[in-house]
Amino acid sequence: MAGPGRQILVDGWQSLRRGGPNMNTLVSLGALASFGMSTAAMMMPALGWPTFFEEPVMLLAFVLLGRAVEERAKLRATSDMSALLNLVPETARLLSSSQPSADGTSPYFRTVPTSVIEPKDRIIVMPGDRIPVDGVVLSGCSTVDEAAITGEPIPRPKEAGDQVAAGTVNCDGVLTIEVD
């Protein structure tokens, strides 16, 4: 009880002394009350009280187990969020209406970091590329694999007016997207 549960007991009593009891205070009071009553029952058998030495230990064990499970869940959530952030490409093809291409028929674009893209900017996403930012399809028609975001294994068709999400994969057509 005083080994692994020592941190809970000490924090509970310190919180109580400061006038700000917390969950550790309740656990400490329960464990120490049970242990104290069991000790009194063992020292004075004439009282006829039952002993409960295992309860305070189990209470502390369950609290420590709950904290371990919570910490593991936090670590998994953090790693899942990091994995989602890694899906988003670091660069995008920013469409520029101010300068035509050399042949004059295809749009002019330049590759820029996604951090400089602002709302209302227009980007071009080629087949096989990951979509770098959330937005609305302005032109083009393609299927988009949203499995990394939604878990849906079948790519969904996208056309002008449809929403697209960052980190999804443009499968087979060129899309022009306006950034949200």
Q: What is the pLDDT of residues 106-155, one digit of tens each?
A: 678 899 999 999 999 999 999 999 999 999 999 999 999 999 888 888 99
SS3 state of residue 171 = coil
Query: Cα 121 to the chain's mean position, in Å?
Result: 28
pLDDT for the residue numbered 32: 92
pTM here is 0.57
Question: What is residue 149's predicted lDDT score, i.e. its pLDDT?
Answer: 84
Q: How many CA atoms lie within 13 A of 157 on its CB side?
A: 3
